[in-house]
Amino acid sequence: MVNKKIGNISTYLSELAVFGIQEKKGNDIVRLDLRELNSAASDYFIICNADSATQVKAIADSVEDEIYKKTQSNPWKKEGQENAEWIILDYFDVVVHIFKTDKRNFYGIEDLWGDAQTTSYQSA
């Protein structure tokens, strides 16, 4: 029963993250469901990209704001704010990856987790 509850919380956090990305017009939004993969360290990866460092930062701020407003949770770890080419917001069970477009293409995270169930979202 506890795992089901935790799964629901992580799903809710992932939905809030997607909404925060949509609010700032993030591109190519994808949610990778990693819950069925034994080697995964989290339940979900949320991935998107933007064309400028300014937009990457704005998306990261929006995701943090949306999650904090609804859950009073801050990310456990944040990386990449300095150059804003790839910002990672780690909420333990949900990890949000916000890339500049060229960096997303270079790293190809979706390809690394090809076995994950993928859900695509439209920008708002």
**Domains with residue ranges and CATH for the chain:** 2-121 (3.30.460.10)
Q: pLDDT by residue (tens digit) across 23-57? A: 999 999 999 999 999 888 899 999 999 999 999 99
Instruction: Tell me which H or E stretch contains 25.
Output: none
Instruction: Reply yes or no on whether the pLDDT at 1 is more than 70.
Output: no
**73 C-beta neighbours (distance < 10 Å), count:** 15
Catalogue the long-range contacts made by 29-32 (C-beta closer than 8 Å, 24 or more residues apart).
Answer: 29/120, 29/121, 29/122, 29/123, 30/110, 30/118, 30/119, 30/120, 30/121, 31/118, 31/119, 31/121, 32/110, 32/113, 32/116, 32/117, 32/118
Q: pLDDT by residue (tens digit) across 63-99? A: 999 999 999 999 999 999 999 999 999 999 999 999 9
Q: pLDDT by residue (tens digit) across 95-124? A: 999 999 999 999 999 988 888 999 999 876
